[in-house]
Amino acid sequence: MKLAALAVILACTPALAAPRWLAGDVHMHCAPPDDPADVELDAAQIAAAARAAHMDFVVLTPHAWPSQWGRGYRKRWRSFAADARAEPGVTLIPGIEWSTSGGHFTVAGVAIDALPDRDLLAAAHAAGAFISVNHPFAVPTNIPGVGASHFDMSYRVWTDGARGFTAIDGVEVFNLPLALANLIRRPGGMTGEQRAWLAADRIVHAEHRKVTAVGGTDNHHRVVTATTWVLADDTSERAILDALRAGRTCIGGPEAGSFRARGDDGAWVGIGGTVRAAHDLALAWDGTARLYVDGKDAGEHAGGATVPAGGALHTYRIERGDSRCGFIYANL
């Protein structure tokens, strides 16, 4: 091919758009399949409210209990998923909240209606689903007027040391209706969010794998607002799920999204990424932020910090205002 012809082709080829932070929610109920007596909004109403709030995506998580699972539910879910995906102007990703006595889980990114009647979480995991444990430390706090605070909806693997499903991809570190209850009463001496971050950090160190941090409104009525931001290539369902799986997330706002790290090869990596560092590691971000290393508070710093890595596995994250970013990993 002649150089002139090649130049014409390159000039006419659109440039790939840079990834950008998308605003959304990873835990929102929807009727149907949810019971209209418990959940007010349907997919069309959620889409309208999300567009008005300038949100890019919502992961819809109608309740699914083992006792109701079967052909009838799968048929309703199939219809709901088609309606959700047809909504314009916002990406509605159909999923479920698999609700058991051992824990509640967001399951998305697979054909839910094709999953079997038994061992649903294991089957979803095998099929490549994104599975996040919801409100993992939602133990009873008994706040007057906060109905959800009177029930144990925690992830019993963590709160009781029980046996259960552990192949989770993500952890809901922020749950909107339970945040107040955990601020007023702090079982274990910490908020539910603090305990969730530490539990996620423990998974990384114990199992040497990545864990995604997410937030959710857990909306049953009319609270449609962004809780989770993802760094995605575009607003498609696939791109958003890819970003969730990769751990490219911020909770509470995108302000902490500038967090980056540079290791031995001199290349900067962003949130969800891994660097190799035999000695010191350079961390950077915009503005002033609080740094957490391996779950421990390393204080506030302006613009960045240099930390020892020593060739060992470490996690790093920052909090900037109300924004909390997911992990960057060293030597994972």
DSSP codes of every residue in 242-293: HHHHHT-EEES-SGGGG-EEE-TT--EE-TT-EE--SSEEEEEEEEEEEEEE
- d(C-alpha 48, C-alpha 50), whole Å: 5
**Burial of 19 (C-beta count, 10 Å sphere; 0-12/13-18/19+):** middle
SS3 string, 24-58, reads EEEEECCCCCCCCCCCCCCHHHHHHHHHHCCCCEE
- pLDDT at residue number 3: 38
- pLDDT at residue number 289: 98
What percent of the chain shows pLDDT beyond 70?
Answer: 92
Q: Among residues 192, 210, 235, which one has the least CA distance to residue 326?
A: 210
Is the pTM higher than 0.85? The answer reads yes
- pLDDT at residue number 296: 97
**How do the domains of the chain map onto residue ranges?**
20-251, 258-330
What would the pLDDT profile of 289-299 be if each residue is shown by its tens digit? 999 999 999 99
Number of H helices, E strands in the chain: 8, 18
In one letter, which amino acid is 226?
A
Q: Which residues contact 6 (CB under 8 A, 6 or more apart)?
A: none
Please, which pLDDT band fits residue 182 given cuts at 50, 70 and 90? Answer: low
- Specify the CATH class of 20-251 in words: alpha beta
- d(C-alpha 146, C-alpha 177), whole Å: 8
Query: Does the pLDDT value for residue 8 go beyond 80?
Result: no
- d(C-alpha 228, C-alpha 57), whole Å: 10
Tokens describing residue 300: 């506030």
- pLDDT at residue number 6: 33
Q: Among residues 272, 213, 214, which one has the least CA distance to residue 248?
A: 272
The mean pLDDT value for 212-222 works out to: 95
Tokens describing residue 21: 């932070």
- Beta bridge pairs of residue 302: 288
- d(C-alpha 226, C-alpha 251), whole Å: 9
- d(C-alpha 7, C-alpha 5), whole Å: 5
Query: Does the pLDDT value for residue 277 go beyond 60?
Result: yes
Tokens describing residue 134: 């919801």
Query: Does the pLDDT value for residue 282 go beyond 70?
Result: yes
Of the two residues 266 and 184, the one the predictor is more confident about is: 266
Per DSSP, the three-state class of 134 is strand
- d(C-alpha 236, C-alpha 279), whole Å: 39
Q: Count how many residues are written for the chain.
A: 332
Average pLDDT of the residues of the chain: 91
The H-or-E segment that residue 158 falls in is helix 156-159
The mean pLDDT value for 46-56 works out to: 98
Of the two residues 13 and 227, the one the predictor is more confident about is: 227
Query: In degrees to the nearest 10, what's the CA dihedral of 5, 7, 8, 10?
Result: 120
The mean pLDDT value for 18-35 works out to: 95
The mean pLDDT value for 79-90 works out to: 97
